[in-house]
Structure 1
Amino acid sequence: MLRNPTGTICRIKSVVGASEEDLKLLAEQSVCKMVCEGGRVRFEVSSGENGRQMHYSEDVLRYLFDKMFEIASSRGDSNDSFPVVVTVPPTFTEEQRKIIRIIATKVGFKVLRIVNEPTAAVLAYHLGSRPSTTPCRYVVYRMGGSTTDVTLIKVLGGAYSLESHVTRSDLGGKLITKELAEHCATEFQRQMRVDMRESRRGMAKLMNAAETAKHVLSTLETAQCFAESVYEGLDLSVNVSRARFESLLGPIISRCIEPLQEILTKASLTPNDIHKVVLCGGSCRVQKVRRAVAAYLSQADILDSKSPDEVIALGAAAQAALLCGRNSQQDVLVRCSAPCLSKGIYIKPSKNGTLTLAIPSGTAVPT
């Protein structure tokens, strides 16, 4: 992104099968030029000596699956059929899931099942493996770079029902990185008596350095944020303690709790009704984010022993192994991953009649 922003395509998953309105918003946010025409999305990529190249979104997605197939082939037998379980966001429609299945199949994968990402995160911890006649409710809290997703899953009798889902597209790890970068830019201005914010390239370098420092502060008490030649040949070097870093995050952390509050309100539940919380997404490495979620859902067990970057993939791999009969130790098989209505359906009997709730939100959609 730093060396060739106009030649880097990001957030391709959000583009697949997206509505025209969503595509317009994504086009505004994309650094790489993105054009919507005839229901298809085309990226105009700067490729140095070759000038500009055109790539449709489905081609970009195929390149990604091609690379994953190449990795799988290098680690498996040439005769393997490479059966896989593919994960997708819970908001994906049947049409979007169909697109993913077709592309994955074309490159050589045998798609056993398509599972919602939150369900895969739950499977990674083998939740629901014991028979129970009472429902258990789990929250999957996923904070990535650009978005935060909170999902409420009910498990009963081997059926995984997605009861409610909340997405915040304006809340993610990039906000944390920007806050740290802003602090470092202020320190640089105090030290050098110049404002590096005037340099777009300098700020891009600083954002990259702040991202690295953020990762370090997830495990160590101090980190150095260093970037070369950020303004007229001057280097930036700022030492940041974890305590100082966390003090910058107050407003962001309070926003991290809002989707939790919203999802419980929609389901008419309290924090005490949640049994376990699965943390996933790279931004959940930030200690203050973990503590905030744990404090709000104080009666729930916080599951964070697995890498938050890998937990969804681990759940998908475990399910694929079970479907292939390669894992005798795990007995969790998703027989039903049921999408649920995000909003209730009301009926108005007559023109002057009152609205009557017919199907409440959270009702599983029959398949």
Structure 2
Amino acid sequence: MAVAYGIHLGNSSGCLAAFTNGASSVLANDAGDRVTPAIVALNGSEWEVGLTAKTGQPASKAIIKNNKRLMNCEWNEDDLLFVESSSSCRIQNEDKVLYEFETSETKLYSSPDNIATKIYAKLFTIASHSVKDEGDLKLVLAAPLHWSQTSRERLIKCAELAGFDVLQVISEPAAACLAYNVEESAEDINILVYRLGGSTCDASIVNVSSGFISIEKNIFRSDLGGQCLTKDLADYIAQEFRQKWKLDPQESRRAMAKLLQHADNCKHVLSTLSSAHVFIESLVDGVDWSQNVSRARFENIISSKVSAYIEPAQKLVESFDGIISKIVVCGGNMKIPKLQSAIANLLPNAELLSGINPDEVIAVGCAKHAGIILDFPNLSLSDVNTEVEFLGQDIYLKYLDETVKLFKEGTPLYTQYTCDINSPSDVKNISFTLHAQPDAKEFAKEDINVESLSKPFKLKATLQEEKLLLVVE
């Protein structure tokens, strides 16, 4: 089976996943990290992307962060100011947006599209090292739900310039649902998808019916992001330093840049461990700082902001009449246990899906979708208004003394259903029959030899044009 790839490129980081042999897995970068910082820097006359751009001596580099905000064709002045304030580049906005990278050695100009291409090129290198055979690297991308088709086409162009063959761009909430295989649910369900990234947040209610994923409601916030939590933690560390040494890191831009970087690392460590050690060399006037921060202390620091982060999801839930049975969390800052529990408490009867690392969820869903597309090469993806055929009646599967409802009326073509088959050890062959009703006459039959199969075994049914394909897995 060909390898298919999925990428989620956010404001703060990018993640690359591969789909092969029926499963998605996240690929690590050259530093061994599963997530790559979405940061590009000009160090002297050399371009740096990812971790190398983030670390080192920030004062000697021209750095651009949060580039994704300006990849949206409908960006506003607040977006421009946010990118400029978080970066160390000047931004020209006359005929078009240009970043001015200036170092002691050179001055260069680059567009948001060029910066995105450099990040995709970094991920392309990771992907190309994961396969032995040379060939086109098939890719599915994720974009925010509110982005226009023009904005999505910009993403496609950047990824293709980096070397990928882009199959499709899907919405981030849909990708998050695909990661957890919710489209395989036999019942109609509603899902709350909550994403908290580095600088943005959004909540969506997604309906899944017969394999179809549709977004019912969505709230997007560009003023809520994990950087606020990082800032609170940095301010706390600065206060501790000030009390001991009577020196204020907040008076120095260089010191605060260091402090924010270490606070961000500390925040991510506390998402999985109960304590984290912070050591900052030469924070102010050559004074080093060493401190242990407990998760309890961090949770106390951010406790006043938790209600504000939950507000978009709460508004969405209150305005929705249906029953929400599952919650999917994504975005790097949803690794924080206190935020996960706050979302879970919002819907105590719903199942919280958190088995995948939140900052990897969307990339995993994209990779799975790419794998599905490669399984059905005749699907047309060029027209967003594709005509879809639906099943005209229920289909039941009978075998031994069991009856299973495979597909209900209205199910779209290419929907798959997998069930576990238990059979007695002395049974060598099983006859599987298909029926329009449980007590109706069979309209198709298939005999399968199960003597050499492990028990139980899986039977996958795929709804195709004018037939139903049964395959033993």
Structure 1 residue 286: deviation in Å?
A: 1.0
Question: Who is 2:142 aligned against?
Answer: 87
Question: Who is 1:164 aligned against?
Answer: 217
Question: Who is 1:331 aligned against?
Answer: none
**Alignment CA distance shift 1:174-1:20 (3 Å):** closer
**Structure with greater contact order relative to length (CA < 8 Å, sep ≥ 6):** 1
Misfit runs of 4+, over 3 Å: 22-30, 105-108
CA deviation digits over 1:45-92, x for unaligned, max 9? 12441x210012222222223333333222224542211111111111
**Alignment CA distance shift 1:190-1:7 (3 Å):** same
TM-score, normalised to structure 1, is 0.81
Structure 1 residue 122: deviation in Å?
A: 0.6
Higher helix share: 1
Q: Gaps (5+ residues) in structure 1? A: 327-333, 339-367
Structure 1 residue 192: deviation in Å?
A: 1.7
Indicate whether 1:269 and 2:324 are aligned. Answer: no
**Alignment CA distance shift 1:325-1:308 (3 Å):** same
CA deviation digits over 1:174-213, x for unaligned, max 9? 1111111111111112222332322222222121221222
Indicate whether 1:303 and 2:353 are aligned. Answer: yes
Find the aligned partners of 1:250 and 1:324 in 2 and give their Cα distance: 46
**Alignment CA distance shift 1:311-1:20 (3 Å):** closer
**Alignment CA distance shift 1:243-1:94 (3 Å):** same
The aligned amino acid for 2:142 is T
CA contact (8 A) 2:67 2:112 kept: yes
Q: Gaps (5+ residues) in structure 2? A: 1-53, 386-473
Indicate whether 1:70 and 2:120 are aligned. Answer: no
Find the aligned partners of 1:20 and 1:119 in 2 and give their Cα distance: 23
**Alignment CA distance shift 1:29-1:269 (3 Å):** farther
Picking from 58, 64, 68, the partner of 1:4 is 58
CA RMSD of aligned residues (A): 2.4
Find the aligned partners of 1:239 and 1:27 in 2 and give their Cα distance: 31
**Alignment CA distance shift 1:104-1:213 (3 Å):** closer
The aligned amino acid for 1:18 is C
Indicate whether 1:256 and 2:319 are aligned. Answer: no
- What SS does the corresponding residue of 1:179 show, helix, strand or coil? helix
Matched pairs, number: 323
- What SS does the corresponding residue of 1:8 show, helix, strand or coil? strand
CA deviation digits over 1:148-181, x for unaligned, max 9? 1112111112221111221222222111111111
Picking from 74, 88, 91, the partner of 1:34 is 91
* 1:97-176 equivalence runs, <5 A: 97-132=152-187, 135-176=188-229
CA contact (8 A) 1:115 1:337 kept: no
**Alignment CA distance shift 1:125-1:169 (3 Å):** same
CA contact (8 A) 2:65 2:83 kept: no
* 1:339-350 equivalence runs, <5 A: none
CA contact (8 A) 1:137 1:274 kept: yes
The aligned amino acid for 1:64 is I
TM-score, normalised to structure 2, is 0.64
Question: Who is 1:317 aligned against?
Answer: 367
Question: Who is 2:31 aligned against?
Answer: none
* 1:11-30 equivalence runs, <5 A: 11-19=66-74, 21-22=76-77, 24-26=80-82, 28-30=84-86
